[in-house]
Structure 1
Amino acid sequence: KIPATKSALIVCEGPGQSWRDERDPQVPLFIGSAVKTFILAQALRASEAGLLSETDQWAVDDKVRSASSPVLLNLTGTTQARSILEAMIAHSDNTATDIALAKVGPDKVRALIAEAGLKNTRIPDSTRRLFSYIAGAPLGTDIGWEGVKKLETGWMPGPPRPPVNDQETMVSSADELVKWYQAALTGAFFSKPATLTEFMRIQAMADAIAQVVPPGIAAYAKGGSIDWGDFHCFCLPGQMVVNAARVTFCFTVNWTGPDDSVAAVFPPFRDAVAATLKGAADALRA
């Protein structure tokens, strides 16, 4: 058995339906790319305010390139902002994330997080700044794309730091992520109905949804993970809509162990989340 820190919260709200189940939902844990929901929301807020357009051409090059970028890793040029946002959510592309985060500004995203009342939620200045810092670079240093590539050879700019730290990190709690999705998916942070529609459209593209949400059910989510040294994480927050009920959830696990422990942890984690969501959906459809 692998020691792990787990947190979970699932809340059902609907006509004649109101219940919740939880396990330590207030505990802040590393959530990885699950923070990208905040970046998406702020980018769309900037769009509805006229500060940018989803049809803008955004540059893709080594100035913004980052690791774990299945869409943009080997591409150079420009593409529509809309495609950048979709790549960030649908494929968790870190280059897309850093492009979007640079366009809207990390402090603007943090201001949105504060507006939402999320006191335990933190984002990095960029994924590359996160990698730089936990690899041992001084605070505020970006080791650049060449430096990121060197990390894959085992090189470190200094003594490595844990992903959970007080400077560059991706942390939140299950109760705050559930609170976020409950509010965001009702349009609480948007001025125009069309912005909420676009937010939902892109959030529905997250690849984790098909692994855990029963077929035929509308869902909106963004998962996250990390494997850094002996530290690992899986996190999946979001919401599914069953009939007239909304089931909002967050499941997170953090643990330390060898790389082969991922194969021992992920399938049971995924299966437990899928079983929980199926059970909730079945009960609501009964």
Structure 2
Amino acid sequence: MRRRHLPLLLALGPAPAALAQPAIAEIDDLVRAFAALPGETAVLLRASGPRGSLQAAHRASAPIFVGSCLKTFILGAWLQEVEAGRLSLDEPLAVNDEHRSLISPVLGGLTGTAPARTVLEAMIAHSDNTATDIALHRIGAARVRALIAGMGLAGTRLPDSTRILFSTLAGAAPGTDLGWAAMGRIADGHPVGTPLAPINPHQTMVSTALDLCTWYERVLAGQVFGEASSLAEFKRISAMADAMPRIAPPDVIAYGKGGSIDWNDSQAIAVAGQMVAGPVRATFFWGANWSGPGDRMREVSDRLVASIRPALGRAASALA
């Protein structure tokens, strides 16, 4: 059995001990309960408000498969290109089998064109992989990787496209796109070679709690875009992510993105972003990777929510 690193929780800033210690104890219990899940887990919570600040960390620098959490970088890079005049939110993008991918609840069955804004919304709000690959094809994975590298996020790795990722996981030569027709066979459990694990040297969606929290802290503080309208659009679309209402406390806004995978006995779930509760800001990452059948996904998802939602709520009430 691998030795686990226990959570580290610190009270920072001017929070009075009588206020900070109960919050720390409760958040510590919540993080430890999530960290005790089988497999590899990671947590980072950094919160600040008028009464001080607190931090909770568990394997914050460890690489973990985060899946669609990385789509936030595609959105960020696109909005930077809009600012530079090289892309638009209104330009029509082709929707067809050239970039159709698995797990596409919005664009999967559609053919024609859609405005870039609609494509980006589908990518974030519903984690639509066809929308993701359309956007990645238009902007280029290299451009998104340049944004990631420019932010100093060395632990983050973006695939060329979700379809190339699925092709690689199914055993195709690295970098190969097997095409839309092959995706159905892969989904039915027919690999083309020796399947790879989601974390592999070729095509993956890996990051760290530290990388993703650093990204959200900087982008939402206005350090990534040059125009207020770009930040407003980033917030608007990021607030649409379907994971946010589930993990944010009631009547509190959160910006972020979740991700997951169920592949060949490898499972992963993660969520990252920032909660804004009045004067309190809390940047967060919760993630788990484990081995076994996919029927545990609901249980792990529920335990993630049961940990992160009260932790965010406790941080908000303690620091406001």
2:111 equivalent among 72, 76, 95: 76
2:33 corresponding residue in structure 1 = none
CA deviations over 1:17-56 (Å, ceiling 9, x no partner): 2221111111010000000000000011111111111010
Instruction: Please give the alpha-carbon distance, in whole angstroms, between the structure 2 residues aligned to 1:210 and 1:264.
Output: 18
Q: Give 1:2 shift.
A: 6.0
Measure the CA separation in 2 of the matches of 1:282 and 1:19.
12
CA contact (8 A) 1:45 1:190 kept: yes
d(CA) in 1 for partners of 2:294, 2:47: 36
In structure 1, runs of 5+ residues without a counterpart are none
1:87 is the counterpart of 2:122: yes
Task: Tell me what 2:219 maps to.
Answer: 184
Which of 277, 281, 291 aligns to 1:256? It is 291
Tell me, yes or no, if the aligned pair for 2:63 and 2:208 is still in contact at 8 Å.
yes
Q: Which has the larger radius of gyration?
A: 2
Aligned counterparts, 1:192-271, within 5 A:
192-271=227-306
Aligned CA RMSD, in angstroms, stands at 1.2
Moved more, 71-80 or 266-275: 266-275
1:1-286 → structure 2 map (5 Å cutoff) = 3-285=38-320
Corresponding residue SS for 1:206: coil
How many angstroms does 1:225 deviate by?
A: 0.4
What secondary structure, in the 3-state scheme, does the structure 2 residue paired with 1:223 have?
strand
- Paired with 2:99 and 2:144, the residues of 1 have a C-alpha distance of 18
Q: Alpha-carbon deviation of 1:259?
A: 2.0
Contact 1:212-1:270 within 8 A present in 2 as well: yes
Aligned partners of 1:2 and 1:257 also within 8 Å: no
CA distance in 1, matches of 2:96, 2:103: 15
User: Deviation string for 1:51-89 (max 9, x for gaps)?
Assistant: 111010000000000000000010000011000000000
SS in 2 for 1:260: helix
**Per-residue displacement from partner, 1:75-104 (whole Å, max 9, x unpaired)?**
000011000000000000000000111111
For residues 269 and 193 of structure 1, the distance between their equivalents in structure 2, rounded to whole angstroms, comes to 33
What residue ranges of structure 2 are gaps of 5+ in the alignment?
1-35
> TM-score with structure 2 length normalisation?
0.87
Question: What one-letter code is carried by the residue in structure 2 that aligns with 1:104?
Answer: I
In the aligned structure 2, how far is the partner of 1:14 from the partner of 1:109?
Answer: 32
1:151-206 deviations in Å (ceiling 9; x for gaps): 12322111100110111000001011110100011121111111011001100001
Q: TM (normalized to structure 1)? A: 0.97
Residue type of the alignment partner of 1:58: L
Question: 2:165 aligns to what SS in structure 1?
Answer: helix
Secondary structure, in 3 states, of the residue corresponding to 1:156?
A: coil
Q: Return 52-61 or 242-251, whichever deviates more.
A: 242-251
